[in-house]
Chain A
Amino acid sequence: MLKMRKKLKVAILGTGNIGTDLLIKILRSDYLECSYFVGRNFLSKGMSKAINLGVRVSDKSIEFLKSNPKLYDLVFDATTASEHIKHAIIFKEFNKIVIDLTPAKVGKLCVPSVNLSEVIHFNNINTITCGGQASIPLAFVLGKVHPNTEYIEVISAIASKSAGPGTRANLDEYVETTEAGIIQFSKCQKAKVMLILNPAIPCIDMQTTIQATIKDPNMDLITFEINKMVANIQKYVPGYHLLVPPTYEGGRLIITVKVKGLGDYLPSYAGNLDIINCAAIAIAEEFSKAKLK
């Protein structure tokens, strides 16, 4: 007999592109229930969307979550890196699980296809960056197959329209956090990350290229492992796919992926929004499964 599952109560802090897209994904989830959508301004686009969807909202930002700790078990922080550093202390005090979508990297770094099962023992989980979610699983594979990988480079191009003010204010943090993630997960000591905002209209889909310096790469094994990883990612990011399979060209290994979004809040070109949110949802659902067994 089909029984209604108990859902984990989650709050969203930050009503920009990321927060609003998360909300729509949560409304579809079998494991999560959005108890509050919290921002600063009832007139913002995200807030109006939430009100239209019948979601409870507050414009009192972090103060609201401080005064009402019983209303939620987990919170998604979709503000900015500098804001999250302040929020992290508060959520720790209230013993809340927080999934941080800013590049603040206060908490445990998580890429679901690589270390999902480990992170439920932590209270603050960081989803790194969109480019990190797209590239780190591939870097992880390269580091596993070739521990002698000398250098890994990641470049992502996203449509200008998909980058809201938070993303734009966090460009430096994006670069530095993604680099830290690549190094930590691949164990390769040298990494470089770049981000391009592409103003072209019609908007381009998010695209991430990873290039690596590897002596005598085992192309068959790399291809096999990368395909396996891509299939794994597709379980929680349906629009993720290999555009240029592992190719050895001019002394470098190159892999390109494209991420098409689900088109929940922003159109499907905003794969960057989608991949980091799909990762955040996968993490939160894992908590829900563990806590509400």
Chain B
Amino acid sequence: MKKIHIHDVSLRDGSHAISHQLSKEQIISYCIAANNAGIATMEVGHGNGIGASSIQVGISKLTDEEMLTIAKRNLTTTKLAIHVMPGFATINKDLKKAFDWGVDLVRVACHCTEADITEKHISFARERGKEAIGALMMTHMASKETLLEEALKMQSYGAEGVVLYDSAGAYLPRDVKDKINILVANLNIPVGFHAHNNLGLAIANSLAAVECGAQIIDGAMRGFGAGAGNAQLEVLVAVLQKLEYETGISLYKVMDAAEITQEKIIQEIPTINNISIISGLSGVFSGFAKHVARIAKENELDPRDIFIELGKRKVVAGQEDLIVEVAIELKKNISTTKSK
């Protein structure tokens, strides 16, 4: 049976959905359940990764140290992972400490054309004897040739895998096939896929990736992630089981873990609302949804208009400050149209 590594992003991508307000009790219950279900690797932290708690992208309820040490204490077999974005987190301020707190694996993430900024962080993790995986985000914005070039760079820095993120939930299965195929054919390390469900395709896209040879698939319990959520982890386990792939995860126990997540952590089960559809179509990072909703309300604007405008400007994660600017401009345009 072919093996697929399911990587759990619930307590990292899901942080976006609850404005980074994970509590100590929630982390404890989740870690116990995930560990028990046989999850091999799981991320914990702020939605934008370690060192990202800020006014710009949201202040976490707990510090990175609190989140990671609590998680580590409650995991035995599951490896503790973090998401790291150079430009947000530095080796000295964040990465060194994370390893001291017991982090086993790092996803070093960057926008899909910027792989060279991950070199120092990837090599540092490897020097410390930790696992390092390269994460290319917003990959709908680049061609497959560019993605291959960038993935090869990460491989040369020592990455032990490269994962393509569909951060905006903008992929169709044919895009997945196109891009995963070329990576699988040319890299010596495992390839992965990280889906978002804006267009209702998270599971279908993950399957398309697996069929093209992807070995790492990201998922979240009940889909708990930014915007419309990620590929629903317990569904992935079920579907992969049906297709006779080995995940090492117990279906019943992962369903139990999903139940616990729903009861104790998730405020609102991710659904595909109008905003998620528009965000997927316009290719804007799902993590913008909450900020856009709030700013649209304050300015009496249609959040869909803000998303479309953001899409035109090709914004990337971390540019949340542009939302206010776009809102002010849209408002100005509306008032000039009215006064005419």
Chain A residues packing against B (C-beta within 8 Å): 151, 153, 155, 157, 160, 165, 168-169, 171-172, 175-176, 192, 194-201, 204, 207, 209, 211, 213, 243-244, 247, 249-250, 252, 254, 256
Contact = CB atoms under 8 A, between A and B. Distances in A.
B90 A252 contact: no
Contact of A194 (B88, B91, B298): B88
Given A172-B86, A244-B324, A254-B321, A199 B92 contact: no
Contacts of B91: 172
A254 B92 contact: no
Question: Taking chain A's interface residues, is the majority helix, strand, or loop, or is none over half, making it mixed?
Answer: strand
A176 B90 contact: yes
A223 to B, nearest CB: 16
14 contacts: A160-B114, A168-B117, A171-B90, A172-B91, A172-B92, A176-B92, A196-B318, A196-B319, A200-B141, A200-B314, A200-B315, A201-B314, A209-B56, A254-B324
Given A157-B318, A194-B88, A249 B298 contact: yes
A228 to B, nearest CB: 23
Interface residues of B, number: 36
A171 B87 contact: yes
Contact of A153 (B56, B113, B325): B56
Contacts of B1: none
A267 to B, nearest CB: 17
A102 B142 CA distance: 31
B325 A243 contact: yes
Nearest to A194: B88
Contacts of B93: 175-176
A178 B18 CA distance: 30
A172 B230 CA distance: 30
A171 B319 contact: no
B324 A199 contact: no
A131 to B, nearest CB: 10
Interface string B229-245: 00000000000000000
Contact of A155 (B113, B117, B119, B318): B318
A14 to B, nearest CB: 18
Interface in B261-276: none
Contacts of A196: 87, 111, 316-319
B141 A155 contact: no
A270 to B, nearest CB: 16
B120 A172 contact: yes
B66 interface: no
Contacts of B56: 153, 155, 194, 209, 211
B52 to A, nearest CB: 8
A254 B314 CA distance: 22
